């Protein structure tokens, strides 16, 4: 499991080489920010920063699931938030057909999933890498939880299916990028995204 979160501008607690032994012996979990009570990295270590970024692709690619604090501005906000139920619900239209049988249709728009997975966290550059490499991502978004994997997107609003008609114009899934590019072209696409 991996955790994707946005760092605080002024972290309340930081694991450094200078306090590493204190953390090993007393593990002040109660002092850790809400979002990552168990996600600890050694910060401000030149050796750590030189080594770890080179391993991040393996960390996320080999994670069973990345838990994403998508709607959080920083680590103290946590994953869960109070929600307005009406924002999670979808509209329905009930139509009476000539055969006398009423049918119910769900109302949605073509940017539904893209809007759900947008948030303060997804504004960060490294999250693009995390989302592409992670086989599964569980987003804790502003209005609901969203599941994103190579095969599907699901949300609390659409638990059994994802709105994706063939004729709708939508942004291709980040997870489907492997289906369109071989390894060399993915690197080219990444370089264009970075520029």
- Residues of the domain holding 129: 2-84+110-194
In a domain, 182, yes or no: yes
What's the total number of domains in the chain?
1
Local confidence band at 155 (pLDDT 50, 70, 90 cut-offs): confident
In a domain, 102, yes or no: no
Average pLDDT over residues 162-175: 45
pLDDT tens string 89-130: 666 788 888 898 888 877 766 666 777 788 888 888 888 888
Q: What local confidence, expressed as pLDDT, does residue 90 receive?
A: 66
DSSP β-bridge partners for residue 68? 4, 139
In a domain, 99, yes or no: no
In a domain, 120, yes or no: yes
Sheet holding 2-4, edge to edge: 2-4, 66-68, 136-140, 145-149, 153-155
pLDDT higher at 122 or 180: 122
Above pLDDT 70, what percent of the chain? 68
Question: Hey, what are 12's tokens?
Answer: 């309340």
Q: What local confidence, expressed as pLDDT, does residue 65 receive?
A: 94
pLDDT higher at 151 or 165: 151
The Cα–Cα gap between 129 and 118 comes to: 15
In a domain, 74, yes or no: yes
Burial code (b: 16+ CB inside 10 Å, e: under 16) for 9-43 equals eeeeeebeeeeeeeeeeeeeeeebbebbeeeeebe
Per-residue three-class SS string for 135-155: CEEEEECCCCEEEEECCCEEE
Q: What local confidence, expressed as pLDDT, does residue 169 receive?
A: 33
How much is the mean pLDDT over the chain? 74
In a domain, 103, yes or no: no
Residue 27, sorted as left (phi over 0), alpha (psi -120 to 50) or beta, turns out to be: left
Q: Exposure of 62 by Cβ count < 10 A (0-12 exposed, 13-18 middle, 19+ buried)?
A: exposed
In a domain, 41, yes or no: yes
DSSP β-bridge partners for residue 114? none
In a domain, 98, yes or no: no
Q: What local confidence, expressed as pLDDT, does residue 27 receive?
A: 64
Average pLDDT over residues 78-85: 80
């Amino acid at each position: 499991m991996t955790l994707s979160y946005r760092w605080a501008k002024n972290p309340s607690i930081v694991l450094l080489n200078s306090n590493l032994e204190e953390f090993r012996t007393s593990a002040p979990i109660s002092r850790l920010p809400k979002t990552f009570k168990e996600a600890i990295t050694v910060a401000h270590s030149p050796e750590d920063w030189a080594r770890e970024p080179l391993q991040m692709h393996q960390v996320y690619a080999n994670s069973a699931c990345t838990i994403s604090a998508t709607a959080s501005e920083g680590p103290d906000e946590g994953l869960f938030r109070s929600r307005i139920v009406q924002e999670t619900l979808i509209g329905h239209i009930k139509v009476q057909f000539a055969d006398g049988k009423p049918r119910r249709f769900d109302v949605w728009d073509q940017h539904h999933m893209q809007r759900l997975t947008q948030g303060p966290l997804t504004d960060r550059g490294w999250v693009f890498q995390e989302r592409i490499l992670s086989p599964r991502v569980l987003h804790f978004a502003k209005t609901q939880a969203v599941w994103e994997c190579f095969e599907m997107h699901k949300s609390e609003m659409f638990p059994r299916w994802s709105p994706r008609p063939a004729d709708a114009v939508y942004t291709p899934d980040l997870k489907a990028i492997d289906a369109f590019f071989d390894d060399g072209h993915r690197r080219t696409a990444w370089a264009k995204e970075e520029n």
